[in-house]
A and B are shown apart, each in its own frame.
Chain A
């Protein structure tokens, strides 16, 4: 058992949603556009040498700097919140052997589930001001949004698409060990 994992006690680690963020980054026009989901759920379960991560985000909570854009992102053009209200991630066989984590998992977007390779980092647990054991887990994964039926685009005057297909999903999670 690795140095890190021996320091991550077995049990259930629950999300501290206030100090966590789950979002996406995608190239749009001349830069990178970012959005977040305000309502997210996640849990890390460690038993023996194995670990499991589950997470979800409510599409209706998508948070961008323009309410009209938020409405468009929830529409059938993008995530289709009415039919597919939840984004999901699950990884059953998480290797926490080092500070760098490599997580083969499955992600579900717009009702389509695909395997995804997630990379990230894990902090060593600390004891916070309230006496809770707490750790930080940063994960990111790159997906092709068109694999999930998120196909919207619009052409620039040159004919090139305005919005990239590759999207990076980023989760910066603080997890607290259940008492």
Chain B
């Protein structure tokens, strides 16, 4: 069964990006298992001195979550025109050592929401660059939810039909990328 690791880059309990992520999760086919990453807040700042066998337990769990997934779906807010520190920090831990990190060749997709007009497009672009540098297979698809407070109802449902459609297309693109990779592995075997 395909497994997707879903990550909200926001820690806030009422986060728009967490809502966007939950909306995306509901759009995945039934045969895709979703794990929503928990514990981003528990990841300490990256320090090479702390890495290796003695890496913090939260980091072991983080790396295991990435290693166990076939793909990664991230919804990111935008802090000061870029990726929030806690999300970048987690990816920095996951990326080491670079040559064997669990994101290598793994399909990854990025969406985002912001309270402003642009829907975290700059953070999304930076995050795609970071994921590519780590070696992920970044799926070129985007959903930018601007003016986020107006896009969700009280239950957290994304009410904008165009955005829902775009979100569905992104989900489909990620599932296709996983299927293509599985097919490649099958034919190479």
Residues on A close to B: CB < 8 A?
A: 67-68, 70-72, 74-77, 82-83, 152
Between A and B, 11 residue pairs with Cβ closer than 8 Å are: A67-B98, A67-B99, A70-B99, A71-B98, A71-B135, A76-B132, A76-B135, A82-B105, A82-B184, A83-B184, A152-B132
Docked Cα-Cα span, A152 to B133, in Å, equals 10
Beyond A68-B98, A71-B98, A76-B135, list 16 extra A-B contacts (CB 8 Å): A67-B98, A68-B99, A71-B99, A71-B104, A72-B98, A72-B133, A72-B135, A74-B135, A75-B104, A75-B105, A75-B135, A75-B136, A76-B105, A77-B132, A82-B105, A83-B184
Q: Chain A nearest CB: distance from B57 CB in Å?
A: 26
List the B side residues contacting A83 at CB < 8 Å: 184
Docked Cα-Cα span, A152 to B88, in Å, equals 21
B19 part of interface (Cβ distance < 8 Å) = no
Docked Cα-Cα span, A71 to B100, in Å, equals 8
Docked Cα-Cα span, A72 to B134, in Å, equals 7
List the B side residues contacting A74 at CB < 8 Å: 135
B71 part of interface (Cβ distance < 8 Å) = no
User: Is the Cβ of B184 less than 8 Å from the Cβ of A76?
Assistant: no
Output the nearest chain A residue to B101 by Cβ-Cβ distance: A71
List the B side residues contacting A82 at CB < 8 Å: 105, 137, 181, 184
List the B side residues contacting A152 at CB < 8 Å: 132
Q: Chain A nearest CB: distance from B139 CB in Å?
A: 10
Q: A82-B184, A83-B184 are in contact. Are A76 and B98 (CB under 8 A)?
A: no
List the B side residues contacting A68 at CB < 8 Å: 98-99
Output the nearest chain B residue to A77 by Cβ-Cβ distance: B132
B138 part of interface (Cβ distance < 8 Å) = yes
Output the nearest chain B residue to A76 by Cβ-Cβ distance: B137
Output the nearest chain B residue to A68 by Cβ-Cβ distance: B98
Docked Cα-Cα span, A49 to B82, in Å, equals 62
Q: Chain B nearest CB: distance from A121 CB in Å?
A: 37
Q: Chain B nearest CB: distance from A11 CB in Å?
A: 34
Q: B117-141: which have CB < 8 Å to A?
A: 132-133, 135-138
Docked Cα-Cα span, A82 to B106, in Å, equals 10
Q: Chain A nearest CB: distance from B182 CB in Å?
A: 12
User: Is the Cβ of B99 less than 8 Å from the Cβ of A77?
Assistant: no
List the B side residues contacting A72 at CB < 8 Å: 98, 133, 135
Docked Cα-Cα span, A176 to B105, in Å, equals 38
Q: Chain B nearest CB: distance from A110 CB in Å?
A: 13
List the B side residues contacting A70 at CB < 8 Å: 99
Q: Chain B nearest CB: distance from A163 CB in Å?
A: 14
Q: Chain B nearest CB: distance from A88 CB in Å?
A: 17
Docked Cα-Cα span, A71 to B184, in Å, equals 20
Docked Cα-Cα span, A70 to B99, in Å, equals 8
Q: Chain A nearest CB: distance from B105 CB in Å?
A: 5
User: Is the Cβ of B99 less than 8 Å from the Cβ of A76?
Assistant: no
